[in-house]
Chain A
Amino acid sequence: KAGVTQTPRYLIKTRGQQVTLSCSPISGHRSVSWYQQTPGQGLQFLFEYFSETQRNKGNFPGRFSGRQFSNSRSEMNVSTLELGDSALYLCASSLTLAGEDTQYFGPGTRLTVL
């Protein structure tokens, strides 16, 4: 079956702009998690959605937001972009994200903020 897909794969924006990233989970998966990966901080958890509801949230400012649609596809939005938002944004899907559910990661969206 098809894996997790993320669009776009690469994005260049300037400070102050906003951006929307998209994630399509594996068919049948209802949980989608988002992570930010940078060389300095590694992978940091942004938020997790399950059945259109945000279940968990990491320690990121309110400029970072997300949503999930009824077909489990998810989007994340970053407003008023800062240079420090340059990172690889990864989404991961799992059946339920309970206990040892395996998370399957997409290839990520590489965001560069100039």
Chain B
Amino acid sequence: TQLLEQSPQFLSIQEGENLTVYCNSSSVFSSLQWYRQEPGEGPVLLVTVVTGGEVKKLKRLTFQFGDARKDSSLHITAAQPGDTGLYLCAGLYGNNRLAFGKGNQVVVIP
């Protein structure tokens, strides 16, 4: 059973367009993290959101944590080819364990 569901699984857009991907769960998490993974590499942490309703910005990336701390979204403004990658969300729950979603594969076409 996957604790975190990410949608869409795959998204291809043109450079300069905006996109939003989602991470949903029926479980409550004490915090939620977003990672980006590129081919041949391990995931790299982008942001951690802790408070329900929290919004964090990282340059052109905007992360939002749902009010009930069950879901999150990642919005990319004016996407660039360097944004291409697998975006993973991970929730921290019980006994300091991380549960990952399967990821949103984003491809930005120049």
Contacts and interface: CB of A to CB of B under 8 A. Distances in A.
Interface of A: 4, 33, 35, 41-45, 48, 56, 90, 92, 97-100, 102-108
A36 to B, nearest CB: 11
B41 A107 contact: yes
Interface string B21-49: 00000000001000100001111110010
Interface of B: 2, 31, 35, 40-45, 48, 50, 88, 90, 92, 95-103
Contact of B31 (A35, A48, A100, A104): A100
Contacts of B103: 42
Nearest to B100: A43
15 contacts: A4-B42, A33-B98, A35-B100, A43-B43, A45-B98, A45-B99, A56-B95, A56-B96, A90-B43, A99-B92, A102-B45, A102-B48, A103-B45, A104-B45, A108-B42
Contacts of B44: 105
A42 B98 CA distance: 13
B30 to A, nearest CB: 8
Contact of B40 (A44, A99, A107): A107
Contact of A42 (B2, B31, B45): B2
B42 A98 contact: no
Among A35, A103, A106: residue with most chain B CB under 10 A: A103
B5 to A, nearest CB: 10
Among A4, A35, A98: residue with most chain B CB under 10 A: A35
Nearest to A90: B42
